[in-house]
Amino acid sequence: MGILIVILGAQVFLRSFGVDWLKISKYFFRAVIVLIFVFLFFQTYAQYQLWLKNDISKYLLPPYTGINYFIFYAFTRFFAPYLMSLIVAILFLLAAKIINKKYEERFFCPEEYYLGALGIFLVSHPGWLFYLIFLILFYFSIHVLSLLIPYILHLKSHTLPKRISLYHLWIPTAIFVIIIQRWLEIMPWWNLLKI
């Protein structure tokens, strides 16, 4: 979540200084992927050392057994959720670019591809499912409010609002999903969604 807060801060503050946010969002996307996988390798190493020092779990490691069990454990426990979300993030990135190009850049700013993909990747699997659900719900709520507020306030001009961008929703929604993920994990159906 710390990474997302840094990105949100950069998104808010650097944009006001005229910084090329597209270039920075591409850099953040690539750097975060590398950073997460370095952290996952560190977690795997720490887990190996922990098992090695335990009187019971050391029998699950070489020379008592092959390394395959530990590799499978580390892959499913640490790497698989992020690999799944990385695949979905890359698919989103490619699909968003294709759709946006087909419809003459109507839906997304160029940096939004990377902000959305970053949010999908960092909430991991199955958090990305909830990320997309909440993103759609928040976006729909904003649209409904933008249509209702002129009527509620009795404004004279009832023109329909222009297209509302998801630009400022990608990162805050990812932070929200990470915060509520602890509550979602205790639901019985959460384990059904896991790999």
pLDDT tens-digit map of 55-73? 999 998 988 888 999 999 9
pLDDT of the residue at 1:
76
152-159: average pLDDT? 64
Arithmetic mean of pLDDT, 118-138: 94
What confidence score (pLDDT) does residue 6 get?
85
Q: So what's the pLDDT on residue 164?
A: 78
Question: What pLDDT is recorded for position 131?
Answer: 96
Q: Which domain holds residue 8?
A: 2-193
pLDDT at position 152 is: 73
How does residue 159 score in pLDDT terms, banded at 50, 70 and 90?
low
Number of H helices, E strands in the chain: 8, 0
* CA 32/CA 118 separation, integer angstroms: 8
Q: What is the DSSP letter of 66?
A: -
Q: How far apart are CA 113 and CA 115, in angstroms?
A: 6
Report pLDDT for 9. Answer: 82
Residues 20 and 110: beta-carbon distance below 8 Å? no
* Pick from 33-42, 148-157, 163-172: least confident: 148-157
pLDDT for 137: 95
pLDDT value for 154: 66
Q: How confident is the model at residue 119 (pLDDT cuts 50, 70, 90)?
A: very high
Bigger pLDDT: 22 vs 39: 39
- Return the pLDDT at 160: 57
Domain count for the chain:
1
pLDDT range class, residue 32, cuts 50, 70, 90: very high
Distances (CA, A) of 113 to 16, 84, 123: 20, 18, 16
| Mean pLDDT (whole number) for 179-186 | 88
The pLDDT score that the predictor gives to residue 158 is: 56
pLDDT at position 48 is 95
pLDDT of residue 93: 96
